[in-house]
Amino acid sequence: MESVSLHGVNVPALGLGTWPMTGTQCTEAVTTALEFGYRHVDTAQMYDNEDAIGTAIADSSVDRDDVFVTTKLLRENLRRDDALASFQRSLERLGTEYVDLLLIHAPNPDVPIDETIAVMNRLQDEGSVRHIGVSNFSIAHLQAAVAASETPILTNQVLYHPYRDQSALLEFCRDNEIMLTAYSPLAEGQIATDETLAEIGATYDKTAAQVALRWLLQQEQVSTIPKASSREHLRENIDVFDFELTDAEMDRIFAL
Ligand code: NAP
pLDDT tens digits for 85-99?
A: 999 999 999 999 999
Question: Domain segments of the chain: what residues?
Answer: 11-192+216-243
Residue 163: pLDDT band with limits 50, 70, 90 = very high
In ligand 1, the atom with minimum distance to the C-alpha of 236 is: 18
- The fraction of the chain above a pLDDT of 90, given in percent, is 100
Residue in 38, 47, 160, 183 annotated catalytic? 47
**Ligand 1 site residues, Cβ closer than 6 angstroms:** 17-19, 42, 135-136, 157, 183-189, 192, 209, 225-230, 233, 236-237
- Entry pTM: 0.98
pLDDT tens digits for 179-237?
A: 999 999 999 999 999 999 999 999 999 999 999 999 999 999 999 999 999 999 999 99
How far CA 60 is from CA of 32, 57, 134, in Å, comes to 10, 5, 28
Q: Residue of the nearest CA to atom 20 in ligand 1?
A: 192
Residue 8: pLDDT band with limits 50, 70, 90 = very high
pLDDT in the model for residue 79: 98
* Distance between CA atoms of residues 249 and 68, nearest Å: 31
pLDDT in the model for residue 1: 81
**Cis check: omega of the bond before 226, within 30 degrees of 0:** no
Is 3.40.30.10 the CATH classification of the domain at 11-192+216-243?
no
* Distance between CA atoms of residues 140 and 138, nearest Å: 5
